[in-house]
Structure 1
């Protein structure tokens, strides 16, 4: 035997054993994911049946199950909603995929791929294709499953594909989610042509509206171009800083950017630069003090004091507390203090919520019902407003209690309990001051230079390549370039 071959063989066998062990673990996890989705679905169906019997409408019966799951498992309501939807589809539309999932032969990502591609397929075609696609998924990654399934569906029903495309386009959306360190993630589904139109517009702006000395990368320019389309300027401003920039005449006549309506809760000391406590950006969460002050440069201010403006307990009810709708001042204060929907796990900004009476308002005799006051109002999104109303009417098994200091205790039908605190209060009235940081202590992040600085000449060449070269020709060109490197 050649020296060293024995060691190599042993290492190879050890690697094979690890791969087999990894496959086994992955299969077990997939089977557990299937069991979890099935259990969530059973809970949803149980709660739905119970609530229908209690008179809840078919449209909303059972929707509180995902909030209950969120409390029990400390997971987001959206994730629970998605898993319940998957469980229902596996049970009623995709039996072969359900069996493979339960056995651990496919995982959750592959199930999502199957479900997304077959979502709008009619029943007779579904019964033909679902077993075939589920079997294919056992040996293919999710993206390959999607591509192959789309081809099979189009081949089997070219006429219906146009209908399915229109149905899918009807589900288009754009969403903005909070990310880390003062950034957001833009997520959306657009019609194919619209998506390409948007990207090409951003690429055109990034390539033609700044000079070759602009320090930003192409990715950064496209991101800034999207904001420019939204703020009304419709163009990029070159950041080269040169007095003789060839784009300066165009930049000089660019319209002023429109300022979006955003809500920020921040302490007066932080706003004045005396402290650097974080601020609360509605729908996002915590942002640093420097960003809060930047936003505040163009802001309108509403002062929220830490003294209770609602003195109904001491002086009796005022006339305004006997009306159903709160005054603008009370509404603003409640939303500022609560920050977001007060239900557990919900991130809907308070500005987009209903102001719900904890103790019910009596329309027939306001003196006997709960007042329209700061103490008795809380921010709740429409979904959790319904949950609270059904709880008050004993139709969903929940119990919702207001506690001192605006805390709210939510108790599920099975007795799990969680207490939520107002999110805005710690930002408006921080208990521990954060010392301010000098401007010199917060350096600007350095721009990472691209491998190729896309100046005017290179941008022009890239534009010509995209216009006159096929994808195959471009791939061949780059393969040749890499071989020479």
Structure 2
């Protein structure tokens, strides 16, 4: 199997909650006025932005160049929105025309004056139906690939995205057409709308659009995946079991005598393998060993598979796997509750409980039930620095630098306001940064400002602004980036049952009478 086939998208428009082709309304079907209005919405901003870029003088500074790049990025989004709309509408016209022609065939046969068209004879010979939607689609994709000078596989993915934008996520299309969000963020929202009910797909669109206007693509993708898992009509336990049955090993050959092996396996096993290999790669580092860390990782895997696991003393390694199990969600609906596997995302609670069964210790984490953000950790058995570290791992999930997905395991606590300048070691003045992005902040002039809602406002050396949310946040409904408004939470009744599950209620003392 080729790399292209191994990594090809499995997105399917039939899994989107939209009507079948040929039955969907597009502006052109509603008359010339609606078509012209839609055209203006799609292309006016493109023309204005392109004209503005054309009229600007040559770049004379880095800051000016970065602003120009932002405008170009917006232009890319606008063009992708226009391409998606034209692609979806063109396909809709083709299906409608084919259906209309098909409805006329019986009338033509009754006239008895026409011979069977050559195309119909060929269709009969090949055993296909010319009005079959899949055949129409494949022919259109081939034509569009010629027009776009692209491959059919890429155009097939573009058409899936286009139909999702046009017929399911009009608000996302509008935001993309004016450059408010990126194409990647729009793709993630459409992709994770598959298999959802129409009202849940709309909820995802409404929830993620405010995030997409502010956050990086990777942050939107992470939240879209989590939200999809929560809204999916089938419990994740059932889907996980079905997917685990499809576990497999795939390989393909590449140039220069190299090959690639791909493993498709449950996430908890993949993370355990990676953590174990990483632990050995760091532990066995030798100053005289000139191999890179990546080379050592691969050599350890090869040694384990071909020669047996490297000889070790004592008990087998127990790799650290962090799992967050939501107690309140388990109380509300155990079948729908999702746990979170650090470095991966949502997994079935049953799988999480199996992982936790052998855990040597537990950490209680208090989360905001509305936004999902971690806001406190149990401190009974940990020093404050340890408790703070645990809180930041649960709250931030990954490095807090814009667009960085390095897991909390490989990041370090960083003071937003420097310790040397009076900054305190508190949850409101600390976040997790990988070593590379700590260097960006402390050496290259990147500035971070903590906002009351838990987000961090980043400013680049040349004035680029980006708001980065904590990785544990799943909703920004109560966030206000401009006014720096802290979300106001309604009062929650914590009864004895909830307190007991959270470990906040001491067991009743036994009577000595």
TM-score under structure 2 normalisation?
0.38
Q: Compare CA radii of gyration and give the structure with the larger one.
A: 1
TM-score under structure 1 normalisation?
0.40
